[in-house]
Amino acid sequence: MKAIEIKNLIFTYMGEEKPALEIDDFYVNEGESILLTGRSGSGKSTLINCINGIIPHVISGELKGSVRLMGEEVREMKLPDIARTVGTLLQDPERQVMNYNIVDEIAFGPENLKFSRDEMERRINRAISVVGLESFIERETTKLSGGELQRVALASVIAMEPKIMILDEPTSNIDPEGTEQIFRFIQDNRENMTQIIVEHKVERALPFVDRVVVVNDGKIILNVSKEHLMRDVEVLLDAGIEIPEEYIYAKQLGLDTVDPEVIREKIREKGLNLSRRVRRNDGETVLSSHLDVDVEGRKIVSTDLNLKKGQVYCIMGKNGAGKTTLIKGLMDFLNKKQFSVSSSLNIEGEDLSGKDYVLRGRKIAYLPQSFDLMLVSKSVESEVYYSAKHRKIPGFREIGDELIGMFSLDDKRMTDPLMLSTGQRRRVCMAAALASSAHIMLMDEPTSGQDFLNKKILGEEIRKLCARGFTFLIVTHDSRFAYRYGDYIGIMDNGRIIHEGEPDHIFRFSSEYGVIAPSDYVLRAEEKEVVS
């Protein structure tokens, strides 16, 4: 039986002229697992909202054609009835978990459906067991790591016992360990439910799906079984989708496997030389610091950190390792009433140890994960001028104009930054942060939720700035990004940077700390270095 059947679907958002989605014919069989991918804004979310009934029941617009779930027309079903059939796990667990206690959160759906207490208990216990929440069931949701919180969100959807499960970029905000647990669930439940996984990380999701569907500009441009994906690698590349490098080489070498280790051997046999980036770790030290952070007498961060001029230093590690606390501590952004912070900080020869974030801001720029929060001006131009203008730096217009040009924002100069796309907003924020005349930039998860092309643009911009003497400290879970654009990686565990070195060295053993090596590394690794 077809779990989902779409025919002649055209959806146009209210106030828009161009349809956001146009699908002639698409179906998903019961028990099938689909990877739905495409660039940001390609129409993936619109498609899943048409399947889970959010369109047309919550989001209005002009809907033509038919979407059927288990044979029933979505338009004619009530939203709560759709919710019994389709479960949806969203990208950011912080934004979907609304209860303080884990059990309350899992019970939310069954309570809405007014099940008997016994039935609720059965569903809750099953959801806890399927996702493996037993070890922290008593903890408050506000104190869970991103990965743990995403598992709670997943359990709350499982408790609805849906026949179809949509996972909308379920791993974009969580660490590799949490990602592994989510994919393990997907793997273990492939038989029980139809799954649609929306992911930018094609490499991570591929082992768990049967079919790959690519959406571009509101249309399905590729719909192939996983086995035939290699044939269409160009289509994915043209659509700006991240392709595992081994797929490209497998096709080039005419191999029928995508195992990176097998491909690596073939590459060696053929004498192909894979490009390796030269890491820049020989600059003078521009930042040296030591940070201690305590909460209620418990030390949560105690570490040294040194940055060299022109370096991209990536901090990696599990959720809760202290990465964001480290960055906030360096910026003096931690709440002094909640955290006891002592730091020594020397930047470009100036001792800023006892100085607050206002003074540190002259030397360090900071881009938080929620970068929209820094967009306080009415136009891109005034946003970029903001810092230098307030600091009364002579020639602030010239500085700002140069950055606007560098970040390709000339045509958006007078646009309200909040009206721009995610990638454009991130570029405005970077330009605005750098206009402060700071030469060191701290970035917290800049690739989170960004598609391949945006990540590539970001990485290239960072490298360009490094060549001009800027230094970057980046907290990231994205191993591939760190491998491609980083010079140095620090592995953080329990509040300390316990290992640091060049990516090729760190990825030899990083999996012990929840940091999984990307296939780019595996393809280039010497035999003795290969991760197990």
| Six token digits for residue 400 | 């700002």
Compare residues 226 and 389 and give the one whose CB is closer to other proteins: 389
Compare residues 121 and 180 and give the one whose CB is closer to other proteins: 121
For CA atoms 74, 79, 85, 90, give the dihedral sign.
positive
Minimum gap (Å) between residue 80 Cβ and other proteins? 3
Minimum gap (Å) between residue 436 Cβ and other proteins? 6
Q: 198-237: which residues touch other proteins (CB under 8 A)?
A: none
Residues in the chain: 532
Q: 433-492: which residues touch other proteins (CB under 8 A)?
A: 433, 436
Residue whose structure tokens are 């989708």? 241
The rounded distance, in Å, linking the Cα atoms of 101 and 108 is 11
Minimum gap (Å) between residue 400 Cβ and other proteins? 12
Check: CB of residue 510 under 8 Å from CB of residue 317: no
Minimum gap (Å) between residue 112 Cβ and other proteins? 4
Q: Environment class of residue 234 by beta-carbon count within 10 Å: exposed (0-12), middle (13-18) or buried (19+)?
A: exposed
Compare residues 257 and 353 and give the one whose CB is closer to other proteins: 353
Compare residues 1 and 373 and give the one whose CB is closer to other proteins: 373
For CA atoms 11, 12, 17, 21, give the dihedral sign.
negative
- Report which DSSP code applies to 77: S
Minimum gap (Å) between residue 450 Cβ and other proteins? 15
Q: 64-93: which residues touch other proteins (CB under 8 A)?
A: 78-80, 82-84, 86-88, 90-92
Compare residues 78 and 464 and give the one whose CB is closer to other proteins: 78
Minimum gap (Å) between residue 430 Cβ and other proteins? 13
Cβ count within 10 A of residue 118: 8
Cβ count within 10 A of residue 25: 12
Kindly report the backbone phi and psi dihedral angles of residue 456, in degrees, each rounded to the nearest multiple of 5, phi listed first.
Answer: -65, -45
Check: CB of residue 447 under 8 Å from CB of residue 486: no
The rounded distance, in Å, linking the Cα atoms of 332 and 314 is 20
The rounded distance, in Å, linking the Cα atoms of 228 and 407 is 38
Minimum gap (Å) between residue 409 Cβ and other proteins? 17
Q: 113-132: which residues touch other proteins (CB under 8 A)?
A: 113-117, 120-121, 124
Compare residues 46 and 216 and give the one whose CB is closer to other proteins: 46
Minimum gap (Å) between residue 160 Cβ and other proteins? 6
**In this chain, which stretch among 52-60, 231-239, 287-295, 507-515 interacts with other proteins, using CB under 8 A?**
52-60
Minimum gap (Å) between residue 53 Cβ and other proteins? 8
Instruction: Work out which of 8, 25, 58, 72 binds other proteins, going by CB under 8 A.
Output: 58
Minimum gap (Å) between residue 473 Cβ and other proteins? 15
Q: 265-324: which residues touch other proteins (CB under 8 A)?
A: none
Check: CB of residue 233 under 8 Å from CB of residue 247: yes
Compare residues 85 and 216 and give the one whose CB is closer to other proteins: 85
Compare residues 313 and 371 and give the one whose CB is closer to other proteins: 371
CA nearest neighbour of 459 among 314, 244, 284, 287? 314
Instruction: Work out which of 36, 432, 482, 522 binds other proteins, going by CB under 8 A.
Output: 432
Minimum gap (Å) between residue 114 Cβ and other proteins? 5
Cβ count within 10 A of residue 68: 19
| Six token digits for residue 5 | 């059947």
Compare residues 112 and 225 and give the one whose CB is closer to other proteins: 112
Strand order in the sheet with 488-493: 364-367, 440-444, 471-475, 312-316, 488-493, 496-501
**In this chain, which stretch among 26-34, 49-57, 259-267, 479-487 interacts with other proteins, using CB under 8 A?**
49-57
Kindly report the three-state secondary structure assignment for every residue of 456-471.
HHHHHHHHHHHHCCCE
Q: 322-341: which residues touch other proteins (CB under 8 A)?
A: 331, 333, 335, 337-338
Compare residues 57 and 266 and give the one whose CB is closer to other proteins: 57
Compare residues 258 and 330 and give the one whose CB is closer to other proteins: 330
Compare residues 80 and 469 and give the one whose CB is closer to other proteins: 80
Which residues, in sequence order, are bridge partners of residue 212? Answer: 35, 224
The CA-CA-CA angle for residues 9, 13, 15, to 5°, reads: 140
Instruction: Work out which of 25, 72, 73, 140 binds other proteins, going by CB under 8 A.
Output: 140
Q: 141-170: which residues touch other proteins (CB under 8 A)?
A: 142, 153, 156-157, 160
Q: 93-112: which residues touch other proteins (CB under 8 A)?
A: 94-101, 103-104, 107-112
Minimum gap (Å) between residue 260 Cβ and other proteins? 35
| Six token digits for residue 509 | 């053993």
Packing angle of the helix pair 380-390, 422-434 (nearest 10 deg): 20
Q: 346-365: which residues touch other proteins (CB under 8 A)?
A: 357-358, 360-362
The number of C-alpha atoms within 13 Å of 319 and in the hemisphere containing its C-beta is 18
The rounded distance, in Å, linking the Cα atoms of 491 and 120 is 42
Q: 366-405: which residues touch other proteins (CB under 8 A)?
A: 366, 368, 370, 372-377, 386-392
